[in-house]
Every structure is written in C-alpha cells, then in structure tokens.
C-alpha cells in the first residue's frame, strides 16, 4: 500500500468517524427534544436511544482501534521498505565504487610483449635515484631510452 493510498484510507476512516459522531450527536439532540416536548421520556424510548448511542460509540471505538492497528502495521511496513531501499542503495553505490569499468590495456595479451618486468622497473628506479641519466641507464641495461622512461614511470 502506497503512502498516498494510506492517506486516502485514513481520510475515509476519519470521515466515517465524523459521520458516526454526528449520528451520536443527532441521537442526543433527539433525546433532548423528546425530553423538552414532553418534559419526560418514556423509559422504553430512553433505553432505545441510549442503546443506539452506545452502539454507535462502541462502533466508533472499534473502528478507531482497528485503524490504529492498521496504521501501525503500515508504518512498520513502510519503515522496513525504506530500510530495504537504503540498504539496496548503499549496496549499489558500493558495487559502483568497486567496479572498474575501464578495460585493461591489452587484456587478452595481443601484440608485442614488453621488456619491462617488475625487476627492471625497480632497477631503473634505483639507478635513476643514484643519479644516472636515462641514456646511461639505457646503455647499461641494453634498452632504449623510451623503454627506460616507461619503466621509470610504471
């Protein structure tokens, strides 16, 4: 049940309660008018009116209790749906954050194989940190200057 339907149902129930209260009020007025006209009310008529008023009062109370229970159930359902939605949203955001949508360069391993291994990269960094130029490193490792640049950057 959506929030809009729930609000509509509550409105209808409030109208029903108002109608029953009006009926109770009308019965009370009828009782008062009957009393005012005759200055007395027959015991049977009084008991009948009192019984009708009591019936409507009980019906109204039952309706109010029923509506409170239904409203409580719907609020719990609504809250659980909100929690579920928030959990799903959080999970979706986590999946989006963890998903790498970019493709790995040359992921199927096609083309020329690289000469740069982790060992070569580490060696290039150490030689560069010790003050050697790219040209000196390239000559020592028998690599091109471009490959040395690439190894230093990776």
pLDDT computed for residue 19 by the predictor? 86
Is the model's pLDDT at 52 over the cut of 60?
yes
What average pLDDT score do residues 53-75 get? Answer: 86
Length of the chain: 154
- Cα distances from 83 to residues 4, 72, 78, 79, in angstroms, run 19, 16, 9, 6
Tokens for 45, please give them. Answer: 């008529």
Average pLDDT on 31-40 reads 63
> What integer is the mean pLDDT of 93-121?
76
Tell me what pLDDT residue 36 has: 54
pLDDT at 37 over 60: no
Contacts of 144-150 with C-beta under 8 Å, sequence gap 24+, read 147/115, 147/116, 148/124, 150/116
Whole-number pLDDT of residue 135: 92
Mean pLDDT of 55-79: 87
What span, in angstroms and rounded, lies between the C-alpha atoms of 91 and 85?
Answer: 10
Q: How many CA atoms lie within 13 A of 71 on its CB side?
A: 13
Report the C-alpha gap between 31 and 48 in whole angstroms: 10
Q: Can you list the pairs that 68-76 forms with residues at least 24 positions away whose Cβ atoms lie under 8 Å? A: 70/9, 71/6, 71/10, 74/1, 74/6
pLDDT > 70 in the chain, percent: 88
Claim: this prediction has a pTM higher than 0.95: no
Q: In what helix (H) or strand (E) does residue 138 lie, and over which residues does it extend? A: helix 134-141
- Residue 128 neighbours by CB distance under 10 Å: 16
Which one is predicted more confidently, 109 or 16? 16
pLDDT digits (tens, 9 = 90+) for 133-143: 999 999 988 88
Parse the chain into domains and list their residue ranges. 3-98, 118-153
- pLDDT at position 100: 62
């Amino acid at each position: 049940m959506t929030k809009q339907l729930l609000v509509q149902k509550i409105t209808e129930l409030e109208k029903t309660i108002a109608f029953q209260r009006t009926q109770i009020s009308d019965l009370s007025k009828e009782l008062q008018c009957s009393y005012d006209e005759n200055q007395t009310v027959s015991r049977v008529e009084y008991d009948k009116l009192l019984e009708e008023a009591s019936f409507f009062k009980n019906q109204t109370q039952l309706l109010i209790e029923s509506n409170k229970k239904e409203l409580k159930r719907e609020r719990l359902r609504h809250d659980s749906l909100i929690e579920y939605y928030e959990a799903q949203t959080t999970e979706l955001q986590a999946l989006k954050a963890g998903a790498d949508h970019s493709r790995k360069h040359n992921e199927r391993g096609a083309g020329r194989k690289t000469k740069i291994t982790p060992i070569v990269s580490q060696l290039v960094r150490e030689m560069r940190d010790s003050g050697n130029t790219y040209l000196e490193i390239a000559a020592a490792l028998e690599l091109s200057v471009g490959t040395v640049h690439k190894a230093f950057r990776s």
